Structure formats: structure tokens, C-alpha cells
Structure 1
């Protein structure tokens, strides 16, 4: 896979949408999706740059926390308690209704063995579900969609918003990447690449969805199949990405209509960038986690409004975490593991994985591995979609008991 560029979605109105896709031959042994799996939507939220886990899910009862983080540690009185030992960053307050309703799971200590602390290589490892010493070309979702051919009614395997790199859809998945750049004075317009041929039925369906996303002023007000959403979305780059994703689902309509009209997608990937907090982390991370929490809360409200909440699984991911000890610039450097969030009506809420024990850091001052990230993928592939996770991941990983099936 090629070195990635970090592309962000502009929050400006009147943006120019660009559409690109990659078509690859599906495996000849591909078979149809299970009747329930084909209705289940996955929304990935990429926390790009490596989010600091210890200030996200805070082990406030561990005396080592405030010793390691004398300047950037979250004060106990400001943190949001989850239990007698663990709390959330105060910016994550909008997620508390999900937590109280047991629809938010937090998996701690997620990473992989022999971690690579390069942004580009570690992102590649997460995107391809490879070992740290293994180089794969296909994204993990590309392999999933090759194993289980989507029904004829599906418009695309996936849609990417906020970062045009294919990532988990790389090298074959039939996907749409929507990114935006500020073009003051220009109305929104959709640019379709030459490799998409209007005569191709699947390509035409993809273009239909993309064109309707591109209609009107940054939304779908003029779209032919527009559904007016009552949900109020936050501003900013990530809020706009969430709004675009939800408006796309509104255009698609109900699951039964989607399959008939050929306008559904199986997965959506959103990106929130900026988590590489080597300097001035308290201000930067607070703003980013606020965007994340407000965006996820509005996403939940929109999915309920659209009747899709019980058929949607939302999961965060990122290339790595941060070091346990703060640096000299009120920040943190690249580290190993981090917590990740899953939410949905069928999620078994609670804390999972390995809580950080700060007295047991390794020789490099890093937190130990608790959950291999491919266990999260095995949970998606097996429990959520009913696929053969071992074949896709090329190794057996135990799924986590995160879902009500």
C-alpha cells in the first residue's frame, strides 16, 4: 500500500465533492450474504494520529496516573466517573446517555504484538489486519466483501467521508470516497472519474447516491429522494462528516427500499484527524473528544430517526495510543495501546479488555497489550455479519462478547 496522505473534509459550505472508486474482481467462491447480515451496517470512526487513551478513559484510582501526568492529567473532580476506578474525559459527556442505556462498550488495551510506532506503517497494519512483520495489499473489509458478495441491490461496499484514502477498503472494494475542498463562489458539484462508466449498472447506482449527496448547499435539500432529518448536527469538520453520512442514509431510505432500489452500502468510514498530540495536548484533545462525542450523539439520534439504530454498529479505531508518561511539551508521544468505543442498540455496554496498570509498564514505559485489534474485527465479521472471520483475517481471533445477536 502507498504512503498515506492526511486529507481532511473542509467544513466550508459550497464545497466541491469528489468521487472516486476502485473496482476489483470478487473471489469466484463468493456467496450471498446471510439474510440478517446484509441488513447490518458498520460505521467506522477513524481517530487519526493516535488518540491518548489514558486521558480518554482515565484510571483515576491508580496513583501512578497523576505521577506520570503531573501537568496534563485530568483532575478527578472534572472527570466523569464510570465506576470506582475509571472515568471519562469531561468532553465525552454527550456519550453518557449511551453508557447509562448500556449501548456503549469501551474496550481497553487495544493494540497488537510488536507494535510499530510509525503513523504510516501502523495505519497500514490496522487497515489490512496484518501482523507487524507482514505486508498485505488488501484492506480487511476488501477481503470481507470478497468472501461474501453483496446482494445485487447494494450500491457500494463502502463510503469514506473525511479522508479519501481507501484504508480498509484498499485494493478492490467497490467504494466511494467523498472529500471536500473549499471553492468559494462555486456551488457544490460532483466529479465522476472516467473509470466509472454510466453503462455499468453498479457504477450508475454509486453515482446516483453520490449525486444526491452533492445536490444543494452542502446537504440534500434539493435531492430527489431527500428525507428531512430533525436531528441537529454539531458544526465543525467531524459534525459535517456525520451529517453527510446520515443524509446519505436518508437518501437511501429504509433497508427494504435500499435493496429494491440498489442504493444501500455495507460500511461507512468517517475520519476525525488531529490526535497526534505531541504538544499542548489538553487543549487539542479536549476539542477533538468534544467533536467526537457530539458527533456520535447526533449520529445515534439520526439513526434512531431513520429506523436504523438497531441495525448499525459504530466502532472507533486508530493506529496506536500514546506513551503513559507526559513529555516536556505538555503532550504525549507515540505509544502502543488505546481504548476504543463501540455503540449501537445491540451492543452490550460496559468496560472490556485490560484496564491500564501503571505500575506494570514495560521496559520502554509502554502499557501492555490487552486485546488484539483483530479481535474487534473478528467480532464485526463473525458476530455482526456472519462471515468466516478466520479466513478473512488469516488466523483465528476470539470475538469479544460485545453484541446481542
Structure 2
């Protein structure tokens, strides 16, 4: 595709983009509105220190076929038809391997810039897509109902503590997710903007080649937004003001109840190609060392395959973190098939909110306990 201005590229990609600030206002999450939401000087003048990029694996990714416990015979007993053969998997150590579609991530692994955190979930898991995603988005306990997304609370805390506002950006989804209730509906039912948003003028100079997929186009939109932000910062020499702290991207389709092997292969290939391109673009922009990329999903999949060559809703699953300051390697707890619960699911070895506490505390320097409503120990996932 011929590179055009950021405004044209974002419209062509069909990605939904919302800019959501602590003032409680967001742009309209629609294709038409997004054509005018490329960026604007007032909201994108200076980075909010370190950047978080969340990648939602919507539908619940099958963690056992992503990070494969190939040395455990129980894995193959439970997955006679859909288990990834040992000789096809990418071996990481004597017990663990990656799905072959994730090969583009191996340079990150070898450079110790990819962390794989196993066993992520929460106590008393809910297997409803809607409710479990609400738990992840608000960082609540299973029996707790919170109104605001955890990033909404974090950005408000940043304003209170550091004295300037920061934005979260949602691309590829109309759902605000962890930025829930950062928007305010207008009288006609649509969201309203803080200030008039202006398209960026000029051509993108990024040399990174992005995958030709909806997810790849969402990443292109995000990277060109950061490129435009960098350009505007240099042009205006702006003093400390508003900046982008978090970007949320979505890759949909992980609810693999049937014909999982081929569907999952294609999804993981999109994920790996997209993350590899994102890394290249962040390096090109000089943002790799101050960016933290993290996957998340509402749940994993059941350890036992079903009769449709797929998997039902499950519980704990692994997640990836990558970045120039990430402490690469295997973290968390590997799956233990001897500890399955009464429904045959894996217990959570690591509360997902500890990942959020790592972002809030060590990464952003915010008071994680106040934002999360309880004390949670960060994970040792970042280089000092």
C-alpha cells in the first residue's frame, strides 16, 4: 500500500480510534469520527514518560497451545488431536516450547526482551466473556464490581500526582475496556471531545513494513500516531503538557470452540508478525526503551480438547511482555495438570493484577495500591 498521510492511513485501515483523557471525555468510537481523530497538537505534545501498549487477545487465547508444556505427557493425553507436536514446536527449554507460528518473536526471546508470564488468572474465575473481561478491565476481584477501568483510574492518579493530564488511546475496537468511563456521552448519545482534533499534515517517514491484516493496520495507525506526536513535539518545542500514556489494540477471534488448529495458527501468526513489526517501528521512532507491550485476555481455554477439535472456556493462561527494558525469560508458574480443579481447569498461579501493579509502580512510578484498591506485589519483569 502506498504511504499517505496519517489521516488517510488510519481511515483506510478501518481501525477505530478513541483518545480518552482524564478530563473524562473521549472521541466518538466510530469510523467516521476516527477520520478526524488522527492527532492534535493540544493532546499529543509530549510523551507521558513511559508508554504502555496493551494487546487484547479477544475471546480467550488457548495458552496451552501457545506456550506448550511438551515434556508433560498429560498435555498430549488431554489433547490427542489438537496438541502441538514436539518436533513442530519452538523449544525454549527442557520443558517448554512456543507454537511454531510465533517464530517471529524468537529474536526478542534471544535478546532477553520477551518475558513469558505463565499461569496468569484470578481466584474463583468467571467463564463468561463479558463478566471476566469486566474483571480484567477494572482490575476487580471476582466478587467485586467496579465502575472505572484500571487505566482510567491510573491516568487520573497521574494528573493528581504529576500535575499534568495524559491520554489513553483505543484502536481497533469500539469498547473502551481498561479506559472504561473515561468518556462522557453527549445529549445525542455520542461522546464529545475535549478540543477540536486536527489531522496531521505530511507523509509518514516510517520504513517499517506492517502486516497486511486488520491487526497490522491497527499497529500502523498506532505507530504513525506516535510518529506524528514526535514530529509535533519537535516542531513546537512544547513545554510539559498532555501526552499519550497507553494504547490499547485488539486482535479478535480467539474463542476457538471448533476447528482450532488452523484458526489458532493464523491468529498467532498475526500476533507474532504484528508484534515484530511494532518492535521495529518503536526502535525506528526511538521509543523501544520507553515502551512496554503486554498481552491480556479474559481467560484461557480448557485443558481438554472438545469433540469439535476445539476448546471450551478455561482459566489461567500465559501472557507476553516485551520492550527494551523487559527482563526476558519464563516467569510465573508452569501449568500443573495434577492440580486441576473440579471442572478440570488449571488454577491461577499468578493474580493478573500483579502485572498491572508492575505497570503502575515500577514502570510509571504511581501509587499502585491506591489505584488497585489493595496492595499487590509487582513482578520482577523490568530492568532497573
What's the TM-score bracket when you normalise by the shorter of the two chains? 0.7 to 0.9
* SS of corresponding position for 2:101: helix
Cα offset, 1:164, TM superposition = 1.5
Residue 166 to residue 67, structure 1, CA distance change in 2 (3 Å) = same
- Tell me how far apart the structure 1 counterparts of residues 237 and 157 of structure 2 sit (CA, whole Å): 19
Q: What is the distance in 1 between the residues matched to 2:336 and 2:80?
A: 17
Change (3 A) 1:153 1:356: same
CA distance in 2, matches of 1:161, 1:351: 29
* Residues 259 and 355 of structure 1: CA distance in aligned 2, closer, same or farther (over 3 Å): farther
Give yes or no for the alignment of 1:203 onto 2:195.
yes
Q: Report the CA distance between 1:278 and its aligned residue.
A: 0.3
In structure 2, what is the equivalent of residue 181 of structure 1? none
The 5 Å alignment of 1:159-238 reads 159-172=169-182, 195-196=192-193, 203-204=195-196, 207-208=197-198, 211-212=199-200, 223-224=201-202, 226-238=203-215
Q: Distance in 1 between matches of 2:254 and 2:222?
A: 22
The counterpart of 2:251, out of the listed 272, 297, 302, is 272
The answer to whether residue 84 in structure 2 is matched with residue 74 in structure 1 is: yes
SS of residue matched to 2:169? strand
Q: Which residue of 2 aligns with 1:92?
A: 102
Q: In 2, distance between residues paired with 1:263 and 1:143?
A: 17
8 Å contact from structure 2 (residues 172, 249) kept in 1: yes
Cα-to-partner distance string for 1:231-256 (whole Å, 9 max, x where unaligned): 11111111111111111111111696
Of 244, 252, 260, which residue of structure 1 is paired with 2:238? 260
User: How has the CA–CA distance of structure 1 residues 15 and 399 changed in structure 2, closer, same or farther, with 3 Å as cutoff?
Assistant: closer
Verify the 8 A CA contact 2:54 2:249 in the aligned structure 1: yes
What residue in structure 1 maps to residue 358 of structure 2?
A: 379
> 1: CA distance between counterparts of 2:11 and 2:22?
34
Q: 1:100 to 1:18 in 2, by over 3 A?
A: closer
| Aligned: 1:147 with 2:125 | no
Equivalent position to 1:320, from 299, 309, 329: 299
Report Cα offsets for 1:81-102 as digits up to 9, x if no partner: 0000000000000000000000
Moved more, 262-271 or 101-110: 262-271
1:119 corresponds to 2:162? no
Residue in structure 1 matched with residue 71 of structure 2 by the alignment: 61
Q: Runs of 5+ in structure 1 lacking a partner?
A: 1-10, 27-36, 175-192, 197-201, 213-222
CA distance in 1, matches of 2:163, 2:367: 21
Question: Match for residue 249 of structure 1?
Answer: 226
Which residue of the partner structure matches residue 135 of structure 1? 145
Cα deviation digits, residues 13-60 of structure 1 (max 9, x gap) = 74667665566658xxxxxxxxxx931000000000000000000000
| Alignment-derived partner of residue 336 in structure 1 | 315
Q: Is the 8 A contact 1:46 1:272 kept in 2?
A: yes
Of residues 247-256 and 393-402 in structure 1, the stretch that sits farther from structure 2 once superposed is 247-256
- What is the alpha-carbon distance in structure 2 between the residues aligned to residue 332 and residue 160 of structure 1? 29
Find the partner of 1:308 among 264, 282, 287: 287
Give the C-alpha shift of residue 268 in structure 1: 0.3
- CA distance in 2 between partners of 1:82 and 1:15 (Å): 35
Rate the CA distance shift 1:227–1:21 in 2: closer, same or farther, 3 A.
closer
1:283 aligns with 2:262: yes
3-state SS, counterpart of residue 64 of structure 2: coil
Once residues 123 and 259 of structure 1 are traced to their aligned partners in structure 2, the CA distance between those partners, rounded to angstroms, is: 40
Which deviations, in whole Å up to 9, do the C-alpha atoms of 1:155-175 show, x marking residues without a partner? x5111111121110111269x
In structure 2, C-alpha distance between the alignment counterparts of 1:353 and 1:61, rounded to whole Å: 18
Contact 2:148 2:182 in 1 (8 A): yes
2: CA distance, partners of 1:98 / 1:370: 25
Distance, in Å, in 2 between the alignment partners of 1:300 and 1:21 is: 22
> What is the alpha-carbon distance in structure 1 between the residues aligned to residue 237 and residue 383 of structure 2?
24
Number of equivalences:
347
8 Å Cα contact 2:15/2:171 also seen in 1: no
Whether the aligned pair in 1 keeps the contact of 2:20 and 2:169 (CA below 8 Å) is: no
Partner of 1:105: 115
1:335-387 Cα shifts (integer Å, max 9, x gaps): 01110000000000000001011122122111111110000000000010001
Contact kept? 2:337, 2:346, Cα under 8 Å: yes
Cα pair 2:304 2:311 within 8 Å, conserved: yes
- The runs of 5 or more residues in structure 2 that have no matched partner are 1-8, 25-46, 185-189
